[in-house]
Amino acid sequence: MRAVVITRGGGGPEVLEAQEVEDPAPLGDGEVLLQVAAAGVNRADTLQRHGRHPPPAGAPPYPGLECSGTILALGPNVPPRWAVGDKVCAPLSGGGYAEKVVVPAGQLLPAPEGVSLTDAAGLPEVACTVWSTVFMTSHLSPGESFLIHGGSSGIGTFAIQIAKHLGIKVFVTAGSEEKLAACKGLGADVCINYKTEDFVERIKQETNGKGVDVILDNIGGSYLQRNLNSLGVDGRLFIIGVQGGIVAEVNLQAVLARRLTIQAAGLRNRSLANKAEIVSEVEKNVWPAVAAGKVKLVIYKTFPLSEAAEAHRLMEASTHVSKILLLP
């Protein structure tokens, strides 16, 4: 099969090369083989390319944390709901940038109604990340307020829509008027240009000094104190990225005085059982909203597998809105 290989020990986008590689190993217990229709491109893939986000033990060495496709074969003890020929999508531990990939059956999601099989590749990572963090862990609830950093990202555009669908007031930050307009169009209530405004002050103005209930943060260190200053009583900060660094000095007074909670997690290194639980919750809680058209996938651009380097250049330029896909 063809897959995108990280050559020369990693580095810039130019190290990504589509090559002929061996087919996946024979299927193990509870595994299925997919013919990949499309793969989502995520910022974590660019970190893997640099050697900073390696795949967990046993995962394919090729990048790609989500895909859609058709089931080609079933291993032993796969649940009877799945059959050869089913159209599905799934979060992956790696290997999505390929023509075929092996997936644990517990991570399979049916391609949602009303979404093309190609576009479905852009859903698993964002849906599983947002639902497992903000809803399953931080317990964001109807009537609360929610700040999303990077509102125009794939995670951001999904989070805006599912939160609005559930009756939550949404604040976002983004770095251009074009990106803020896209967020507004998806339903965001308050859109803040982090390059020209202080998001802490704007949130205080918009909430009469109370702050928001939950923050989803992809920046990390450089935003930590400002995020804490933006939370209200019993507020929850969930960190899913550290684009702004991994070290910060924090005044804990706000944490103590307002009973704040700081949480952090990724998706890739969770156990199979934990991933299966998340996928089940996503199918139950998110998929009906997607099928009803309440949450729409925004695809910015697609590239052939052979142009994975160009897809990564676009991702790292951060000029896009929402999802980038690769097509085998």
Q: What is the pLDDT of residue 47?
A: 96
- Cβ-contact 1, 98 below 8 angstroms: yes
| Pairing verdict, β 169-174 and 190-193 | parallel
Tell me how far apart the alpha carbons of residues 78 and 104 are, in angstroms, rounded to a whole number.
9
Residue 251 DSSP label: -
**Beta-ladder partners of 193:** 174
Q: What is the pLDDT of residue 227?
A: 98
- pLDDT tens figures, 28-86: 999 999 999 999 999 999 999 999 999 999 999 999 999 999 999 999 999 999 999 99
Which of 220, 176, 224, 216 shows the shortest CA–CA distance to 196?
176
Q: What is the pLDDT of residue 283?
A: 98
Q: What is the pLDDT of residue 192?
A: 98
Where do we find the tokens 């589509």?
18
- pLDDT tens figures, 170-217: 999 999 999 999 999 999 999 999 999 999 999 999 999 999 999 999
pTM of the model: 0.96
Mean pLDDT, rounded, for 137-148: 98
- pLDDT tens figures, 247-306: 999 999 999 999 999 999 999 999 999 999 999 999 999 999 999 999 999 999 999 999
Count the alpha carbons within 13 Å of 238 in the hemisphere toward its beta carbon.
22
Structure tokens at 231: 């939370």
DSSP class per residue in 7-52: -TTS-SGGGEEEEE-PPPPPP-TTEEEEEEEEEEE-HHHHHHHTTS
- Cβ-contact 219, 241 below 8 angstroms: yes
CA 311 to chain centroid, in Å, comes to: 16
Domains of the chain in sequence order: 2-126+287-326 (3.90.180.10), 138-264 (3.40.50.720)
Residue 218 DSSP label: S
Which of 199, 253, 244, 201 shows the shortest CA–CA distance to 220?
244
**Beta-ladder partners of 19:** 3
